[in-house]
Amino acid sequence: MESEFVKYISTLGVGGIIAGFMFLIYRQDHLRVVEILQRSMQREDSLLQVMQRTAIANEALTQTMTAMMSQTQSVAMQQSNDMRVLLERLLDERSGHG
C-alpha cells in the first residue's frame, strides 16, 4: 500500500510529496504510540492483578495473626492462672507447716 501511496503523491508535486511524507511519518508515530499505550495497559492490568492478590494475601495474614494473638493471649491467661493456683497451693502448704 505504501508503494501505491508514493506513486500517487509523486503526481502531486513537491507540496504533495512533502504532505505525503508528513502523513506517513505521522501514521508510523501514531501506530507506535498506540502500541506503547496497549503495552502500558497490559502492564497496568498485570500490576492490578498483583495488587489484588497481595491484598487478599494480606487479609488472610491479618486473620491468621489475629487468631494467633487470641490463642496466645488465651494460653498466657491459662498459664497465669495455673501459676497463681500453684503459688496459692505452695503458700497454703507452707503456712500449714509453719
> Is pLDDT of 52 > 80?
yes
Split at pLDDT 50, 70, 90, the class of 97 is low
Asked if the model's pLDDT at residue 31 lies above 90, the reply is: yes
pLDDT in tens, 62-90: 999 999 988 888 888 888 888 888 888 88
Q: What pLDDT is recorded for position 93? A: 84
Alpha carbon distance 57, 63 (integer Å):
10
Residue 50, C-alpha cell as written in the block:
498483583
